[in-house]
């Protein structure tokens, strides 16, 4: 079988995982804000974190708990980032792990923790503590979507996906959940994601898969250029499918299939974040080709994606190609403007060092679609990169102007 996306798939699609989401009162709205993902057996575990020098308390805890490369549960809360909360915040993150572990019968170090929301506010631990038992009671093999809902902050949709592949005649699944809508910039974002598989992998190889998949997915999405304090992507592999790829080089055969499944899940979730950017009215898909290497192609794409002028032009359906060229020029890559080609919504707008002839009215109409494309050919080599972002709207300003007030 080829890769197949599972309808309503999530972290609980792979064999041996349960999840749940409940409302514990962290959010004033009364919506779900506490989530739990559990593997029914010990799992190899790996994580990738924000590169922001200011990092939230859960990241410090997760680094310690992952020293042995294994974990069996992840508890997550939304509405409060538990960031810039000092030693008490780190103690609260450890306590979230310990309370979950006690209910599950695990060691505290087998539990990882993630938080997202407002920075600098202590966690309401009384609310969390009183809801751990109900959260564990709610665990279900169909609870992945509820978990995704409980991770949301300013997200407007729950983000979840799963795929199935066949390895050695047996079905292997990879599923994920994520949250993220703003404070999103490469080297991850104000985003959390958990990816689970029932393949049997050692932690070292799982991390290798995860790092490469994140590099081509979550690190290729930007909403507003702000890098968060809490970004975390966690991967678990519990081996429940009975299919193992231990020590198989990543580039070969079945291991490559598994990587492609993980990248598909991460890319789907990253794209969903860009499409759900705060106040966004459209997704912007930037495709860069002809790069001297992948890093250069990505660098140019990100410069265009992070340009407020490009993003506002997209919002206004304005085919102002000068803004795209300007961003390409300051990307820090030695491009030759006379050689590059740029197309917007399939229409060539710049070629041979000058603007191309096009029908501005028709192109403006094409820019009203929910997804628009910007294609850039750097004519420097054969490397490519894809970047996902969104337009910058009045609603983004309103949401972030009133975030805590």
324-333: per-residue pLDDT in tens? 999 999 999 9
Pairing of strands 17-22, 354-355: unpaired
Rg (CA), the chain: 21
Indicate if 266 and 340 belong to the same structural domain. Answer: no
C-alpha span between 124 and 31 (Å, rounded):
16
Residue 190 appears among annotated catalytic residues? yes
Taking residues 208-215, report their average pLDDT. Answer: 92
The whole-number pLDDT of residue 218 equals 86
Whether residues 251 and 337 share a domain: the answer is no
Instruction: Say yes or no: 151 and 209 in one domain.
Output: yes
Q: Is 222 a residue whose pLDDT tops 80?
A: no
Among 275, 294, 309, the domain-final residue is: 275
Residues 256, 317: one domain?
Answer: no
Task: Indicate whether 262 and 124 sit together in one domain.
Answer: yes
pLDDT at position 221 over 90: no
Using N-to-C axis directions, what is the helix angle for 86-104 and 125-137, rounded to 10°?
20
Among residues 190, 197, 222, 393, the one annotated as catalytic is 190
Q: Are 211 and 351 contained in the same domain?
A: no
pLDDT of residue 247 exceeding 60:
no
Of all residues in the chain, the percent with pLDDT exceeding 70 is: 92
Residue 401: pLDDT band with limits 50, 70, 90:
confident
| Bridge partners (DSSP) listed for residue 38 | 18, 73
Specify the pLDDT at position 45: 98
Residue 225 pLDDT > 70, yes or no? no
> Do 84 and 160 reside in the same domain of the chain?
yes
- pLDDT tens digits, 282-297: 999 999 999 999 999 9
Q: Same domain for 392 and 316?
A: yes
This prediction's pTM: 0.83
Does 252 have pLDDT greater than 60?
no
Query: Quick check: 335 pLDDT over 90?
Result: yes
Residues 253 and 375 in one domain: no
Alpha helices in 66-202 (DSSP H): 86-104, 125-137, 144-150
Domain boundary among 249, 275, 301: 275
Per-residue confidence at 187, pLDDT binned at 50, 70, 90? very low
Which structural domain, as residue segments, surrounds residue 214?
4-275
- Residue 403 CA to residue 247 CA, distance in Å, equals 47
The enclosing domain of 334 has a CATH number of 3.10.20.340
In three-state secondary structure terms, 220 is helix
Domain final residue pick, 275, 306, 334: 275
Q: What is the pLDDT of residue 311?
A: 92
For 166-182, what is the mean pLDDT? 89
Residue 242 banded pLDDT, cuts 50, 70, 90: confident
Residues 61 and 168 in one domain: yes
The number of distinct structural domains making up the chain is 2
Comparing 91-105, 130-144, 265-279, 390-404, which segment has the lowest mean pLDDT?
Answer: 390-404
**Do 99 and 243 share a structural domain?**
yes
- Residues 214 and 98 both lie in one domain: yes
The arithmetic mean of pLDDT across residues 140-165, rounded, is 95
**Mean of the pLDDT values across residues 131-158?**
96
The domain that holds 188 is classified in CATH as 3.60.70.12
């Amino acid at each position: 079988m080829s890769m197949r996306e599972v309808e309503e798939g999530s972290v609980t699609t792979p064999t041996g995982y349960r999840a749940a989401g409940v409302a514990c009162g962290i959010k004033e709205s009364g919506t779900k804000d506490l989530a739990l993902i559990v593997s029914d057996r010990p799992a190899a575990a790996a994580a990738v974190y924000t590169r922001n020098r200011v990092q939230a308390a859960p990241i410090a805890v997760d680094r310690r708990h992952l020293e042995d490369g294994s974990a069996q549960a992840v508890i997550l809360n939304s509405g409060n980032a538990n960031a810039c909360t000092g030693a008490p915040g780190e103690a609260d993150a450890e306590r979230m792990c310990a309370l979950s572990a006690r209910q599950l019968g695990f060691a505290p170090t087998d539990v990882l923790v993630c938080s997202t929301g407002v920075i600098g506010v202590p966690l309401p631990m009384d609310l969390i503590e009183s809801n751990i038992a109900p959260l564990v009671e709610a665990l279900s093999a169909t609870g992945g979507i509820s978990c995704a809902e409980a991770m949301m902050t300013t997200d407007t949709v729950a983000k979840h996906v799963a795929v199935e592949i066949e390895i050695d005649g047996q079905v292997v699944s990879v599923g994920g959940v994520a949250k993220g809508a703003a404070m999103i910039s490469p080297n991850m974002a104000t985003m959390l994601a958990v990816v689970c598989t029932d393949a049997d992998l050692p932690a070292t190889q799982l991390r290798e898969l995860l790092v490469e998949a994140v590099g081509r997915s979550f690190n290729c999405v930007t909403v507003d250029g702000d890098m968060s304090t809490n970004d975390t992507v966690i991967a678990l592999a519990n081996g429940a499918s009975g299919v193992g790829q231990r020590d198989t080089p990543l580039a070969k055969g079945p291991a490559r299939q598994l990587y492609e499944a993980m990248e598909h899940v991460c890319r789907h979730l990253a794209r969903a974040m860009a499409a759900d950017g705060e106040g966004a009215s459209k997704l912007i898909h930037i495709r860069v080709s002809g790069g001297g290497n992948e890093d250069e192609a990505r660098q140019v794409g990100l410069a265009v994606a992070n340009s407020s002028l490009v993003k506002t032009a997209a919002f206004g359906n304005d085919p102002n190609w000068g803004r795209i060229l300007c961003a390409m020029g300051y990307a820090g890559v030695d491009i030759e403007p006379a050689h590059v080609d740029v197309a917007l919504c399939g229409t060539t707008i710049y070629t041979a060092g000058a603007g191309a002839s096009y029908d501005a009215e028709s192109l403006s109409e094409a820019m009203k679609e929910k997804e628009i494309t910007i294609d850039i050919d750097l004519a420097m080599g054969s490397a490519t990169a894809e970047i996902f972002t969104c337009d910058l709207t009045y609603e983004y300003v309103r949401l972030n102007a009133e975030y805590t007030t």
